Amino acid sequence: MSRSRRSLLTSLLGLSLASGPARAAIDSITVDARSPVSSATLKGRTPAAPWNATNSVEVLFHYNLDSATTGYVAVFTGVPPNPSHTGLETVFEISDEGPGKGAKRFSVLCDGKSAKYEIKRIKVALMTKGPVGPVTLATKFLDVDYTFQCRGTNPTPSAPVK
């Protein structure tokens, strides 16, 4: 092989190695703190009540959104071993890719079905909107101990006695 041809091949090989393989997207979510910390007892939330420290938990987190240009963070309480209930959350929208941090709240809806809900696990997810619905990019499960008290429950009335 001629010297000029070998030099050209060596140069091409060097360029291809320098460019390297494409870097895979790295999406992540990390929970930094919760307020209040567990164990805690809170009031459950009614639809008309404002979000506050007595009826919801604030989750502080940081994230890296690498595979999409926009996204959001969600906290889910509807995971085992939690009882069946209606979870409530605020929305944390992400408008730019890259690293960031934020806070969002979650609670349970007092719907008259139960006097209290024991929340033992939450799922914190970094998500984006896909062509057919939500897409989860990164997830953290946390074991917690929150009791949400629902005062004034309204059980289903029994049939009148004849």
Give the pTM: 0.76
pLDDT digits over 134-154, tens only? 999 999 999 999 999 997 544
Q: Is the dihedral of CA 103, 71, 133, 30 positive or negative?
A: negative
State how far the Cα of 147 lies from the Cα of 131, in Å rounded to an integer: 37
Confidence of residue 155 (pLDDT cuts 50, 70, 90): very low
Please check the confidence at residue 53 and state whether its pLDDT lies above 70.
Answer: yes
Q: Are 123 and 106 in contact (CB under 8 A)?
A: no
β-pair partners for 42: 148
State how far the Cα of 114 lies from the Cα of 148, in Å rounded to an integer: 10
Q: Which DSSP letter does residue 22 get?
A: P
